[in-house]
Structures are given as structure tokens and as C-alpha cells.
Amino acid sequence: MKPKKAPRIDAHEVASVRPELFINWQLSQLEFNFRVLAQATDSGNPLLERLKFLCITDTNHDEFFEVRVAGLKQKIVSGSVQAGPDNIAPADIIKGIAVRSHALVVEQFRVYNEVLVPELADEGIRFLSRTNWTAGQREWLHAHVNNIMPILSPFGLDPAHPFPRILNKGLNFIVALKGKDAFGRSGGMAVVQAPRSLPRVIKLPQNETGSGPYDFVLLSSVIHEFIGNLFPHMEVVGCHQFRVTRNSELYLDEEEIADLRRALEGELLSRRYGDAVRLEVADNCSSDIIGFLLDKFGLTEDDLFQVDGPVNLHRLIAVYDLIDRPDLKYQTFSPKIPRKIAGKSNMFERIRGKDILLHHPFESFVPVIDFVSQAARDPDVLAIKQTLYRTGPDSAIVDALVAAARAGKEVTVVIELKARFDEEANIALSNRLEDAGAHITYGVVGYKTHAKMILVARQEEGAIRNYVHLGTGNYHARTSRLYTDYSFFTCDREITEDVHRLFLQLTSLGKVGKLKKLFDAPFSLHDALTAKTERETLHAANGHPARIIVKLNHLTEPGIIQALYRASKAGVKIQLIIRSTCSLRPGLPGISDNIEVRSIVGRFLEHTRVIYFQNAGKPEVFCSSSDWMVRNFFRRVETCFPVERPELRQRLIDDLEYYLKDNSQAWILQSDGTYRKAGPGEAKPFAAQTALLEKYSRVAGEA
């Protein structure tokens, strides 16, 4: 069976799918950041968590430019005019992004300067500007800057000293100078780069400076104040911070390279200096200097962002861990282990009894780690196979795989080297696993391996029994406390056989044909979900109960959107819980008036992918590693698996109903592409994440 190719949409096809029915997905992704930023102004969130949300918007915006805007600019440079189903050309998308991105940045700094800084000051948490330093603070900071001066390198600009290479997202200063330099030449301009090793937030010591317990100074302020020390006998007449964002996409022709890992290592070195896509400068920077910088980076005024504050807002997130104020943070909680697993020394015995379903972070990720760790130690386990996309540093799961390989077990790991921004970490862990004796493969050329699956083969009573873990999220212990995801354990013969065949496909590249219970991309997943949507359409047309609930991160693939439109027209009730990007327009008369789209933004990043089909009273529920995007359906290896045990299936349905009931953290998508915050009205306020926390805090439920 050949992988299904991504659809190529030409002008005729665009017309046939009616472009006005589709929201541009890049602009939709940008709108998600406004919903995150709204959390920073929500007084229902603890104050330091609100600061964290502000920092997250900055990180999100950085990545949006590094990847999405960079990709669009690359298309324009290459002369591409190909539009998506919305029929908006890349150049016009860039213009729309410029408008909304500038509006976002203005709002970010309004929230920072007018909302968060004053409210933090009321709580004794202060960011001290240079004009407000006391004599004691200035003396201590002067000594501090003297310590770091040797690692600061000023670069004067003249024919012998060209404009230096500027790191992606690094903190820099453009300095205007007056007077004669050491060689008698008139001063001009210089650039100073702040090394990434220097903390961007400095906590002032109380005893030495007479400061409050939580008085902070930004590194940018300190360098700005004392930058004259770098230019003796010259006068600094202007100093302005700036930051450049660069194209961070890696361009590899996998079919033309012999060693993916080695080629990727080479590409990572150039990522820091990709083409510039955005310039951020202090808002008091002169137009002459701005023009000079734009020219140096080949950018236009649309790419310019003048900011009233630090150019790297995301670095303020360091403050969160420097402040011991539990009253200003979310209440801590301990993820629960279901009582039927808690205390069990043998995960395999428990899985043989019944399938297990865990909902992270409300339920602990520890059983997933235990599953691999026990497999590594168990003398009856013969082989472990696992996919790894993101794991994080110091991974207990990787430790277990290393131990298993050293113990002589057959360990096969499919590592996705091209997991964006985790490439370097994944190269390191691939080296570590290979050194331990594990078999390492990097998936399939041209297709990212995004599936989350573990297969353990165990010798039992003269036969081999397979055990499987399937998930909606990564094998990453830290993010398992921040992202909502599902873990599913089973020894169901048909499911484990499907997973076995998928691993064969990934390692041997042989054809496995049709799977028994799982759907996989890039082969059967798109067709299967489309067919089940069409089945629901037929049920509605025949007067049977018909309902679809889908919970995803992104919904942009035009084929599946058209299937949902057809289902809506037939009378199927469709409820979509799409966290971030959605190209479907709900509420269009006669087309999508049976479709509601909501986005939940709260304490945890919603990451679960769940699909429910009412199926005329015989409900089916699936979990998946895949969003509904072109890349997931046609350019990635993904899995979608059924949850068939009635009580577990009902748990998933109940969880979906929690999100549909949410009237506190939900945003409702309007047909024009904007979002409206849901309100409780006369109903009692209900937040799904809070309710789930309370539910799992009361009792460690069934697995």
C-alpha cells in the first residue's frame, strides 16, 4: 500500500471548494496567541501565572515568526503564488500577519506596563528601572557589571570591522558614539551582544543593597547604564536594545543525503544565522538607526516591531522560580495513580486484567515510566520497541531503555530527529542509546514519525505475549504535568499485532497492508475518518441519532472539513474542541449551522486528540497522536486507536462533555474567524480543567 500523497490544490480545485468557507490557518494560529494573552489579564488567575502567560505569548510569537512567517517568506522568494483552500496568496497572508502581529505586540506591552508591573509592585515584586536605583543598588550593580564586562565584546563598525553576525533572538545593543577612538578616528556606531549565558533577570540582594525581597533589574538596563565603560574616552550618545528573529526551519533533501543524523548536525549549526524575518527595537530608537538596522537585515517596516520594554519578554519567566509566593501561583497538586494500579508491582499483570486509560496531568505519568522500567528489569521480557519524538533531558524512560539494551534485551527505538527545536537533544539521545546497544532508526525518509507507541514482547507460559502503550502525547515527564494527554495500555491481541506491524513498517520499510483495529497515517487514517464522518451523515439522513465530537489541537485539512460541512448540512450535530488553529467556519447558514467550535485555554495546555461518533446509538471513540492537518494525514506517521472497553469509552465521553460544558475558559469561534469568550450567564461557572482536577483529587479513579 502506497502512502497517500498530500493533495495539490490548484486554482480550479480552490474554486470548487469555495475559498470563503475556509479561515486562513496561519492567521488562525496567530489568533490563538490573543486568547493566551487574555489569560494574563484574567484576575481569576494567580498573578505570577498571569506573568507566565505573558511570557508564553512571546515564546509562541517567536516560533510563529521563526517557522510560519519564515516559510511564507521563503515561498515568496521562490516565486510561489500557490494559495491554500482559502485562496489567499502568501504575500497577502504576510500582510494580514503584519497587522495582527503588531496589534498583538502593542497589547503585550500594554498588559506588561499598565497591568502586570503595577499589580506586581503592589505585591512587593518590583522591576526597577535605571532612574529608580538607589545609591546602594547602583554601587552593587556597578560591581556586578564589572564582573561581566570581560565577556562583553563591543564591535565598532567601520570598513575593517563589518557588521557582526547576529544570533537568532539574541539580546543586542546598537550604540551611537561621539569623540575620537584610540586611533584618532571620529566615533560612529558599535554593536554589543549580550552572551546567552548571562541571566536576563538579576535579583538584587537585600543585605547588600537595602532592596526589598523581590526587587529585580533587567540585564538590558544594567548594560545600558554602564555601556560607556566599553568605550573609554568616548561619549555614548545613544544606546538601544534590539533583537532579530531568523528563519529556524531546517531544509534537508533527505533523499539526497546518506546519513540523516550527520547532515542534521551540520544544519543545526546554521540555524542560528538563517535569514532575518523580524526586527524588534526599543521604541525610543531613532529613525536613522532603525533604517540602518532594517537595511543590514534586509527587512522592511512591516517586519519592524518597536517595543516599550524589554525586547525579550519571554526571559521574564525566570522570575517565577525566583519568587517564593505560593499565594501568587496555582495551588500545587499531586497527580493521582488509579487505585487499581497503585501498589501493583507488576504492570503486566494489571494490563492482562483490563485495559488501562490514564488522563494526564490529572493522573500520574509514573505508570508509563514504570511500564518501560519494569520491562527493562523483567527477565521474561525479550524485546522493547518504542517511538521517541520529544523526551526532555534526564529522561527516566531513556534510562530504562539504556538499561534494557545493556541487559541484552532487543531494544529498538525509532527516534524522530526532526522534532522541531529538539533535534540536538534527539541526536544526543540517539548516540546514547546506540552506545548502549539499542537498534536505532530515524523513521521514514520524507515522513516525520509522530506516533506515540511502545511494544513489549514478554515470554509467558511457553508463548510470547505483547503489551502496548499508545498515547496522544510525548514520552516527556515534565510536559506530562503541563499538557493534557491520554495514555492507553492494552494486551489486546489485534491491537498489539497492529502495533507490531507498524514497527515492522518503520524499521524494515515493508508493506503491512490493512490493520485490524488501528488507523495509521499516511495510509488509512484520512480515509477512515472521512468514511466515519460520511457514515454519520447517512445516519442523520435516515433519521437516526447522529453526533460527532472532535477534540484536537489543529483542524485545517480541507478534505475532512468538507466532510464535516456535508455532515452538518445533513443534520449531524458537530461539536469541535480545537485548541489552536481552525480553518472551518462554523455557523454559516445552510452549511455549518450545526457546527460549534470552541477553544479551551487554561492552566494546562490542551493536547488530547479524541474523536467520538454516535453511530446511531453504537458509539465509537478513538484517541490519536494526530491533528487534522495536511501534514499529519499525509506527511507523518501517526496512529489512531479505538478505546473499546465500555467504562473507559464512557470516561472519554464524560471528559468531552466536561469541555463542552465549560463556560469559564472556553472561547467560541465565530463565522468571521474571531473568537468570543464564553460566559456563564445565569448558569453556574464551570471550568473543565478545574472540575477534572477536583474529580481526580477526590478519588483515584478506575484505570
Q: Which pLDDT tens digit goes with each residue over 414-472?
A: 998 776 767 778 788 888 899 999 999 987 888 999 999 999 999 998 899 999 999 99
The cell for 210 is 537595602
pLDDT given for residue 3 in this prediction: 58
Q: Are residue 565 and residue 694 in the same domain, yes or no?
A: yes
CATH number at residue 152: 3.30.1840.10
| Residue 434 and residue 534 share a domain | no
Half-sphere exposure of 435 (CA within 13 A, CB side): 8
- Which pLDDT does position 700 carry in this prediction? 56
> Last residue of a domain, which of 96, 118, 140?
118
**Quick one: 271 and 378 in the same domain?**
no
What is the reported pLDDT for 16? 53
Span 504-521, average pLDDT: 90
Distance CA 600, CA 512 (A): 38
Q: Whose CA is closest to 698, among 264, 339, 457, 426?
A: 339
| Structural domain contains residue 333 | no
**CATH number of the CATH domain containing 104:** 1.20.58.310
What is the number of structural domains in the chain? 4
Please say which residue of 508, 529, 553 terminates a domain: 508
Res 446: pLDDT? 84
pLDDT greater at residue 181 or residue 548: 548
Domain boundary among 71, 93, 118: 118
Q: Are 488 and 641 in contact (CB under 8 A)?
A: yes
Under 8 Å CB-to-CB from 580, ≥6 apart: which residues?
28, 29, 32, 553, 554, 599
- 114, 133: one domain: no
Active site residues: 450
In a domain, 334, yes or no: no
Q: Is residue 327 in a domain?
A: no
Q: For position 461, what pLDDT does the model report? A: 87
pLDDT band at residue 8 using 50, 70 and 90 as cut-offs: very low
Residues 550 and 683 placed together within one structural domain of the fold = yes
d(CA 629, CA 75): 19
Name residue, grid cell 493533495. 7
pTM of the model: 0.93
Percent of the residues in the chain that have a pLDDT greater than 70, as a whole number? 92
Give the CATH number for residue 690.
Answer: 3.30.870.10
Residue 185, pLDDT > 70, answer no
Residue 319 belongs to a domain: no
Residues 114 and 135 in one domain: no
Indicate the pairing of strand 605-606 with strand 519-521: unpaired
Domain that holds residue 291: 129-257+264-313
- Based on the domain organization, do 475 and 591 belong to the same domain? no
Question: Which pLDDT value is given to residue 638?
Answer: 97
Q: Is the per-residue pLDDT at 593 higher than 90?
A: yes
Q: Are residues 293 and 359 in the same domain?
A: no
Give the span between the Cα atoms of 108 and 341, in whole angstroms.
45
Same domain (yes/no): 282, 428: no
Whether residues 557 and 672 fall in one domain: yes
Query: Do both 111 and 136 map to the same domain?
Result: no
Q: How far apart are the first and last CA of the chain?
A: 36
Could you tell me if 148 and 290 lie in one domain?
Answer: yes
d(CA 287, CA 176) in angstroms, rounded, equals: 13
**Range 60-64 contact pairs with CB under 8 angstroms and sequence separation of 24 or more:** 60/32, 60/33, 60/36, 61/33, 61/101, 61/104, 61/105, 62/169, 62/245, 62/314, 63/248, 63/421, 64/29, 64/30, 64/33, 64/101
Given pLDDT bands bounded at 50, 70 and 90, which one contains residue 274? Answer: confident
Structural domain includes residue 318: no
Say yes or no to pLDDT of 60 above 60.
yes
Is 184 a member of any domain?
A: yes
Within a domain: 3: no
Tell me 311's DSSP state. Answer: S
Cβ atoms of 541 and 571 closer than 8 Å:
yes
Structural domain includes residue 337: no
